[in-house]
Amino acid sequence: MVFPAYNEAASLERAVGIATETLLQISPDYEVIIAEDGSTDGTGAIAKSLAGNSPQVKHLHSAERLGRGRALSRAFAESRGMILVYMDVDLSTDASYLHPLVQSIRDGWDISTGSRLLPDSVVSRSRTRGLSSRTYNGLIRMLFHTGVHDHQCGFKAFNRESLFRILPEVRDTHWFWDTEVLAIASRRGLRIKEIPVRWIEDRGTTVNLAMDSAKMGMKAFSIWWRLRS
């Protein structure tokens, strides 16, 4: 399991502790990789300490800012598991949903992803962000026919072989990585499973709603044209 971590000193230790307890209930054979991405707030020192105290925890350090997508791709390449998982350090998605997420891959799905937009999902977020999310995801479904309701939830699992079959085609290095992976996966015929989750918005998020939505919308059209060509 991978935690992409950029300036997460306040949340990292708690997140790793909760993830470790949850993963132990799923399988005795697991690893937690902290993909520490050019942090400047002491996250690196905390990650190093956590890795030193547990053989199941690995600290993958980058002195430069790689971007969330590139940090994830790098961490997955360094991992050893056949089921690859990542979740955001803020634990916006309740960790109890790790079991159904992983079980979907065990059941034969290529990708499983948490969804904040399914009828059974329980979500606490601002109305503005909720509307923006529905608009963005509607656009992605229209362009790529993924059948997925929520492309950007930071809670996903992959069959290793399936992910590495498409990862060379994924170019984004930051927030759009999730959408690009699912768009390419859908185009290549991979099976994607959505599961409803309980999700609480992180009020300290670094996502700029207007700017990032505009950038990801432009990237979506760029990927659509590339795949169409």
Helix/strand/coil for 187: helix
Q: CA–CA separation, 159 vs 14, rounded Å?
A: 27
**Cα angle, residue 32 at apex, residues 29 and 35 outer, rounded to 5°:** 150
202: annotated active-site residue: no
Name the nearest CA neighbour of 61 among 81, 85, 33: 33
Cα separation of 85 and 113, whole Å? Answer: 10
Q: Which of 41, 90, 178, 202 is catalytic?
A: 178
Cα distance between residue 23 and residue 35, in whole Å: 18
Structure tokens at 125: 């977020």
User: What amino acid positions are annotated as catalytic residues?
Assistant: 178
